[in-house]
Chain A
Amino acid sequence: GEDVEQSLFLSVREGDSSVINCTYTDSSSTYLYWYKQEPGAGLQLLTYIFSNMDMKQDQRLTVLLNKKDKHLSLRIADTQTGDSAIYFCAEMASGTYKYIFGTGTRLKVLA
C-alpha cells in the first residue's frame, strides 16, 4: 500500500525547535519532500531529500531520512510564529511523478 502518516498536531514555543515526523511505506520512493501550507493557500515546497541521502540541511531546516525504518523528519530550528502552518511530507515513487501526501501536521507556534 501507499500510506504516508504524520502526527496531526504539534505545538511549540517561539524560539524552540520543532520536529515533524513522517512514516511512509513505499520503499521505491526516489524523492521525499516537505511542503508547507498556510491557511487557504496552496503548497510551498520547503525542501526535499533524495532517497540515497541520510540528512540534508537548509538554513533552519534539517531533514533526516531513515530508509530502513521508512521514517522522515523535518526539524525547524528557532521556530517563529510565521512557521505556524500545516506541513505535509510527500513521496514520489520511482518512475512516476505521482505524489503521495502525508496526512499533514498542524504546527502551532506559541509566542
Chain B
Amino acid sequence: GAVVSQHPSRVICKSGTSVKIECRSLDFQATTMFWYRQFPKKSLMLMATSNEGSKATYEQGVEKDKFLINHASLTLSTLTVTSAHPEDSSFYICSAHTSGGESTEAFFGQGTRLTVV
C-alpha cells in the first residue's frame, strides 16, 4: 500500500519554542492531507485539512496561528506548533489519501509524540 512518512517520531522541546512536524507521501501525490491530535487514552481529533497550494482549513476550536500548516507540494505537508506550551504535548498524526480502486483509503503516518517541557 501507499506509504506516508512522518518526521520526527519523537521530539522534546522547551516551552516557548516552535516545532515543525513533516508529513510526506512517499509513493503517491496527495492534494489533501489531514492533521490529527490524540490525547492520552483518547481518540483522534481532526485538527485541520491541509490543501496543496492553498490555506489549510481548521476545525472549530483549533488555533490557526498556533498550529501553522503549510502544504507546499503534492508530497509534503508541515505542521508547526508555535510558541509551544506543555498543554500542547500530545501525539500528532497526519494522513494522506489515495483514490481509485475499490475504496478511498487513508494512509497514516507513524505519528509524532511531542513533549513540551
A residues at B contact (CB < 8 Å): 30-31, 33, 35, 40-43, 45, 48, 50, 88, 92, 97-104
Contacts and interface: CB of A to CB of B under 8 A. Distances in A.
B108 A88 contact: no
Contacts of A43: 44, 93, 108
A30 B108 CA distance: 19
A45 B43 contact: no
A97 B97 contact: yes
Interface size class of B (residues with CB under 8 A): 20 to 34
Contact of A31 (B32, B46, B104): B104
Interface of B: 1, 6, 32, 34, 36, 42-46, 49, 93, 95, 97, 103-111, 113
A42 B108 contact: yes
Contact of A42 (B1, B6, B32, B46): B6
Given A42-B108, A45-B105, A98-B34, A104 B113 contact: no
B109 A42 contact: yes
Nearest to A50: B103
A109 to B, nearest CB: 19
Contact of B105 (A48, A103, A104): A48
Nearest to B59: A98
